[in-house]
Amino acid sequence: MSKRALLSVSDKSNLVDFAKQLKDLDFEIVSTGGTKKALEDAGVEVTGVEEVTGFPEMLDGRVKTLHPKIHAGILAKRDDPDHMKQLKDAGITPIDLVAVNLYPFKQTIEKPETTQAEAIEQIDIGGPSMLRAAAKNFAGVLTVVDPADYQPVIDALKAHTDDADFRKHLAAKVFRHTAAYDALISNYLTEEEFPEKLTLTYEKQQSLRYGENSHQKAAFYRKALPSKLSIIPNQLHGKELSYNNIKDANAALNMVAEFDQPTVIAMKHMNPCGVGVADTIEKAWDEAYESDPMSIFGGIIAVNREIDAATAEKMHKIFLEIVIAPSYTDEAFEILAKKKNIRLLKADLSHRDEPDRFEEITVSGGMLIQESDHEIDQIPDFKVVTKVQPTEQQLKALQFGQHVVKHVKSNAVVVTTDTKTLGVGMGQPNRIDSAKIAIQKAMPKDGYENAIMASDAFFPMDDCVEYAAKHDIKAIIQPGGSIKDKDSIAMADKFGIAMVMTGVRHFRH
């Protein structure tokens, strides 16, 4: 007994071969518009949808499949005698397979020149309706939304393995697809920053070997409209990225993208362990390496200039997990790629002014969403609150330190010069411990005589200022805002320290 398949696709990959195989399995093919023409041009016999409905397409194709002879043929329960009798009485033939993929809404809105009117015309109505109907009635209808499933469907039909589990699998895929499609449309049309319902959609990029630890399963998904500033999928060399690699690499990229000078970031466990700026990327590497030669081992490196051979030679001497750069000279790439496991990534920093506006983090039972912290504190906005005024070099160092500290996990305190980090203290339950860690790590290093201290949030007491003063720190930058700011200012004045307040806190939990 002949069966009926309805094919209506925007993506015509492997369409003709799929239709021919369905014909070989004694399916009648019903189709519309461009799909019908593509099949006819390939010599496949096709029944037009208007022949089924007895009604022509209208409204420039907006209405063609929205008809009882289509939807009743899809939705009728095959095991319900009354349903089947109603079809027979109405002269409706059941539809046993629906292969539909939707108007290219995503591809349309990805084009910068697309107008709203053009985008709206790519909102598919009939396609999702047929898919959802078929998926709802998966017990009697095979639904195919992905060309990758054409051959598995043919194989299942031939082997008579198109059972309930197989059909349910395809139906679930349909609902994921239409949900993602609707999410893109709703997000495109939504103007509220925080609407009453938030539907995000992601596409699987890759399965990961494991998560943070080897006993945890994991996968990586990217946004359906991915960020232009991204490490994925731009891996040029090396073994597959891990869960932790992706998190660290993303943090390093977002940090280095904020710097204008040639800059090198060394990232470990979502915290910078070495940051260097200079006139050349090689000198910036030297500064970053000297910041913490121990912690940089096994680190993630991000740079904002092309890597040359001289810099690559220095990088090659130590074990690094990942290097991220906008480009590599041929010689530099050859040098670094001698190590087969090092991951070499390319990142398009021309999009550094287009970072994600919002960031999300899941919590048990929900999700937090906030604007990303893209604030970069500038010297003209600094407020000097002490009797001693910072020197020009100290102001540069204070700005650099403030730029670094916003990327360190709170409580965050860093000690820097104007070109490199000397000590980084982070993640402590009180600020004085972070200050002690940063200063103790910084003290033995060259440049400490010109060191400043930066804090991501205010000092709740004057102990951090006192500790810094007793260890020869000459300038401090912090946001201010504590009810005890006057105590910290008085302590700075007591020891002749210049203190600047910015009014902007940079917590990063």
Yes or no: say if 426 and 434 are a contact pair by the CB < 8 Å rule. Answer: yes
DSSP classification of residue 241: P
ω before 233 within 30° of 0 (cis)?
yes
Q: Give start and end residues of each alpha helix (H) in 26-67.
A: 33-41, 49-53
Residue holding tokens 């020197």? 391
Yes or no: say if 319 and 340 are a contact pair by the CB < 8 Å rule. Answer: no
Nearest to 232 by CA among 222, 242, 244, 245: 222
Distance in angstroms (rounded) separating the CA atoms of residues 261 and 279: 7
Task: Please count the CA atoms within 13 angstroms of the CA of 125 that sit on its side-chain side.
Answer: 10
Nearest to 384 by CA among 487, 502, 506, 504: 502
- Paired residues of 37 in beta bridges: none
Say what angle helices 68-75 and 81-90 make with each other, to 10 degrees: 160
Distance in angstroms (rounded) separating the CA atoms of residues 460 and 176: 49
Question: How many Cβ atoms are within 10 Å of 188's Cβ, its own excluded?
Answer: 17
Residue-wise over 443-468: b if at least 16 C-beta within 10 A, else e?
Answer: eebebbebbbbbbbbbbbebbbbbbb
Cα radius of gyration rounded to whole Å, the chain = 31
Distances from the Cα of 170 to the Cαs of 62, 95, 277, 416, in angstroms?
26, 16, 53, 57
Distance in angstroms (rounded) separating the CA atoms of residues 324 and 274: 15
Q: Is 471 a catalytic residue?
A: no
Catalytic hit among 237, 269, 283, 339:
269
Q: Is 136 a catalytic residue?
A: yes
Distance in angstroms (rounded) separating the CA atoms of residues 212 and 336: 26
Task: Please count the CA atoms within 13 angstroms of the CA of 204 that sit on its side-chain side.
Answer: 8
Distances from the Cα of 412 to the Cαs of 211, 299, 447, in angstroms?
26, 20, 21
Catalytic hit among 136, 237, 396, 445:
136
Q: Which residues have a catalytic role annotated?
A: 136, 269
